[in-house]
Structure 1
Amino acid sequence: MKNILRTMTLAGMGFLALAAQANSPVGRWHTIDDKTGETKSVVTIEDAGGVLRGKVSQILRKGADPAAKCDKCADDRKGQTILGMEIIRGVKKSAGNEYWEGGEILDPEEGKLYRVRLTPVEGGAKLQVRGFLGPFWRNQLWVKAP
């Protein structure tokens, strides 16, 4: 009987962890160009002690150079290869809200840094990515990658 209860408890904890992850930006995401609708890349978002970071783990855009560098970047990523680059930094869960914010996202094609808000939508199947630059913002809707 103890083994059954223990197994049920562990299974319940696993279910809760999966449910929490479904409403979290953590995972692999197909980035979708907000102007063309084209799938551009896969970004993998990880949790490092409550702080999210995201790296370009795959480039999917047709004809894209996998060795392309961020020549327009103005920070420590200048000249780095975009593939493998950390483009999301310092994002934390917003207390009492369903979104993560407080960090930044880099558009490596333009070299622009935006304040970022990440909001899982549609049960975690999509991720609303909103980048803020002053009073202006830019939205993208990313799709969960298999």
Structure 2
Amino acid sequence: MLKSVAAIIFVASSVSALAQTTPEGLWRNVDDKTGEAKAEIRIRDIGGGVLHGALEKRLAKDAKPDEVCNECSDDRKGKPILGLEIIRGAKKADGKDVWEGGKILDPENGRNYTLRMTPIEGGKKLEVRGSIGPFGRTQTWVRIQ
């Protein structure tokens, strides 16, 4: 009996640890220029291991609650920034703790960038890289949930 309880605890803790090493969850990003918290983004598996993420909460002091993505050039044009899907189509790379192949949208300029997400520090942080060709930038997001 004691062995089976220990086994259940071990499996439960293993599953919990595994869940933390994925990009799924709620993340906070910061402004590259000011270092202030900018937004919270929720990343979800929409099925088949494909991850999408939406801007769940705006934290910037100058954020307007009714602002829309005027710069977007696809189906997100004119949509409210709050709730906007900014991550689309990321999949786990074979044999790696890296999610790529998707796109990330910068709602401030309407550009879509090639996406690469890598959980670091045991899943407490997420390196998010958006690039066009060899040019890009990497942000480190902090896990909230």
Q: Distance in 1 between matches of 2:5 and 2:75?
A: 48
Q: Distance in 2 between matches of 1:73 and 1:32?
A: 21
Alignment check: 8 A CA contact 1:33 1:140 kept:
no
Q: TM-score scaled to structure 1, two decimals?
A: 0.91
Alignment-mate amino acid for residue 27 of structure 2 = W
Q: Distance in 2 between matches of 1:81 and 1:102?
A: 25
Q: Which residue of 2 aligns with 1:66?
A: 65
The size of the alignment, in residue pairs, is 144
**Unpaired runs of at least 5, structure 2:** none
Give 1:97-116 correspondences, 5 Å limit.
97-116=96-115
Q: Which residue of 1 aligns with 2:117?
A: 118
Alignment check: 8 A CA contact 1:34 1:139 kept:
no
Alignment RMSD (CA, Å): 1.5
Alignment-mate amino acid for residue 96 of structure 2 = N
| SS of match in other structure, 1:24 | coil
Alignment-mate amino acid for residue 60 of structure 1 = L
2:45 to 44, 47, 52: 47
* 1:9 CA displacement: 4.2
Alignment check: 8 A CA contact 1:120 1:127 kept:
yes
Cα deviation code 1:17-75 (max 9, x no counterpart):
21111211111000112232121110001112211110111000013101110000000
Q: Which residue of 2 aligns with 1:132?
A: 131
Alignment-mate amino acid for residue 115 of structure 2 = V
Q: Which residue of 2 aligns with 1:15?
A: 13
Q: Distance in 2 between matches of 1:107 and 1:133?
A: 12
Alignment-mate amino acid for residue 80 of structure 2 = T
Q: TM-score scaled to structure 2, two decimals?
A: 0.92
**2:26 matched to 1:28?**
yes
Q: Distance in 1 between matches of 2:95 and 2:46?
A: 20
| SS of match in other structure, 1:55 | strand
Q: Distance in 1 between matches of 2:8 and 2:87?
A: 33
